[in-house]
Structure formats: C-alpha cells, structure tokens
Amino acid sequence: MTIGQITVQDVSKRFRLERNRPSSLKEALLRTGRRDIDDFWVLRNVDFEIEPGAFFGLIGHNGSGKSTLLRLIANIHRPTSGQITTEGRMSALLELGSGFHPDLTGRENVYLNGAMLGLSRRHMNETMDKIIDFSGIGDFIDEPVKIYSSGMYVRLGFAVSVNVDPEILLVDEVIAVGDEAFQRRCMDHMNQLREKGCTIVLVSHNAGLMEELCDTIAWLDHGRVLELGEAAPVLEKYLEHMRGGGTTLTTRD
C-alpha cells in the first residue's frame, strides 16, 4: 500500500441498542427477563478505495452513516465486519474539541495531540508557534481548554490537525463553526495540504462546499453507498434527490 491510501473493504457496522441495559452489577446479576437488544446497522457492505492525494467527500442525509464511517476510518470504532486499512499519519478533526482533554491547557493538549500522532516533543516544539499563530488563540493557549469558546476549540483543533504534516486528514464539518475569515483560511490550508499530496476526507451536507473542494464523492443513504464517482455528477443526483422531496430523515431511536 502506498502512503495516503485508504481501503474500505465490505465494511458493516452494527450498534447494539440495549433497552433497559443493566447499568449496575446488581441489575446485571439479578436480571431474569430477557434483554431487549435492538440491532441498528449504521453501515452495510460499504466498499471503496480512496487513492493517495484524493480529496474525498462523504455526503448524505442525517443518520446516513457518514460520520460513523469517518470514525471507523479514524480507528475510533472497529467495524462489525469487513476491514479498513489506512497507510500514513492520520489526523482527524471529528467534532468540536476533537481530541482535547478539557482540564489540560491548550498548549498541553497540543503536545498530547502530537504524541497521539506519534510526533516527538521536539517536533511539537518547532510547530507550536505556527499552531498558536494559525489558531489565533493568543494568550489563551495557557488556559485550560474547558474555558474556550466553541470557536476557539475548533480553531485550535484545526490548527493542530493541519500543522502536524498529516498524510491523511479526516474532517467532519467542523469548519462551519469558525467565522468567515477562518473558514477561508481552512480551505486555503486544505488546498495546500492537497498539493503536498495529503489525502483528505471531508464529511458534510453542504453541497456547495463539497463541489468547491472535492474531486470524488460518495453519497451514503441509510448506511449504503448510493453513488460514488466524480464530484459534479454525484452532487447533481444528490441535490435532485433532496429536491424531489427525498428528505429521508431517519432517527436513531
């Protein structure tokens, strides 16, 4: 495999929803009745490959499984069946405050994130100024991140993600939180990373953003890949579907 490649082989993910799940040992031991287990298949037989250097988009309605797929690629969850392989240093920005420990200061969190990515302290020392500068956090860098505003969280998270020389970058819509100027910088930076050969996977339901950035898009619907291919045609079909009253909203209850 080459660096930056992502292979998703026949991946399915089931979440078990246990109604009245025993939350204490006593309940678990004394339970006599059957357990109510609902299986919820978030993803079914998803199978594709992302080439190194691609800017790949995942689009779909709420609950289509796109965020779960991103988490599986990020190795946060393990697929129920199938296999995902990634090659290269991977940085993931999945949600607000992704990868930050609330009690640590911004600076400590940056070091922690670096350690998680396998970067040495020396490397992080060299990158620290760049990260602080990019995030625009200023003196707050030495305050615990729990006092940060949501915008600051995301800015610092993004600054770390893109400044640690990732070979694969996973982004889940978070950039929508920052202001206009920051969003612009994020996009510029993602384009720069792409030019360096970094593989980027972006999850969003903002078709405009997707069209501007992605070259390949997978459209997920109820856990299956409905369309996969070049950005423009897939987006067109997606938008058409959405306009056609295809608001296939599902809830996960």
Partner 1 sequence: MLKLSPTAQKSANLVYHFAQRETKSRFKRSLLGWFWSFANPLTTVAVYSFVFGVVYRASPPATENGNAENFGFFLFSGLITWNLFTGIVNGCMGWLQSISDLRKKVYFPTETALLGGAASNALQTGLEALVLVVIMAVLSNLSWTVVFLLVALVFTIAFGLGIGFVAAIMNARYRDIFYLVGVLLNVGFFLVPIVYQVSMVPEQKWGLPIRALVEWNPPALFVGIARDGVYFLQVPTLGHLVAASAWAGLTLTIGWRYFRARSMEISEES
Q: Does 120 bind partner 1 (CB under 8 A)?
A: yes
Q: Spell out the residues 6+ positions from residue 26 whose beta carbon is closer than 8 angstroms to its own.
A: none
Judged by CB under 8 A, the stretch of 74-82, 130-138, 142-150, 184-192 that binds partner 1 is 74-82
Judged by CB under 8 A, the stretch of 115-123, 141-149, 194-202, 209-217 that binds partner 1 is 115-123
Nearer to partner 1, 144 or 151 (CB): 144
Can you list the positions of beta strands (E) in the chain?
6-19, 36-50, 55-60, 81-86, 90-93, 168-172, 199-203, 216-221, 224-230
User: How many residues contact partner 1, by CB under 8 A?
Assistant: 32
User: Contact with partner 1 (CB under 8 A): which of 65, 97, 106, 166?
Assistant: 97
CB 168 within 8 A of CB 201: yes
Nearer to partner 1, 168 or 235 (CB): 168
Nearer to partner 1, 154 or 210 (CB): 154
- Rounded Cα gap, residues 199 and 205, in angstroms: 20
Quote the least distance from Cβ 17 to partner 1, whole Å: 10
Q: Which long-range contacts (CB under 8 A, 24 or more apart) does 113-120 make?
A: 113/160, 113/164, 114/160, 114/164, 117/89, 117/90, 117/91, 117/164, 117/166, 118/89, 119/164
Nearer to partner 1, 159 or 214 (CB): 159
Through-space distance between the first and last CA atoms of the chain, rounded to whole angstroms: 39
Quote the least distance from Cβ 167 to partner 1, whole Å: 13
Q: Does 199 bind partner 1 (CB under 8 A)?
A: no
User: Contact with partner 1 (CB under 8 A): which of 3, 84, 104, 242?
Assistant: 104
CB 55 within 8 A of CB 217: no
Binding site for partner 1 (CB under 8 A): 15, 22-26, 28, 74-78, 92, 94-95, 97-101, 103-104, 108, 111-113, 115-118, 120-121
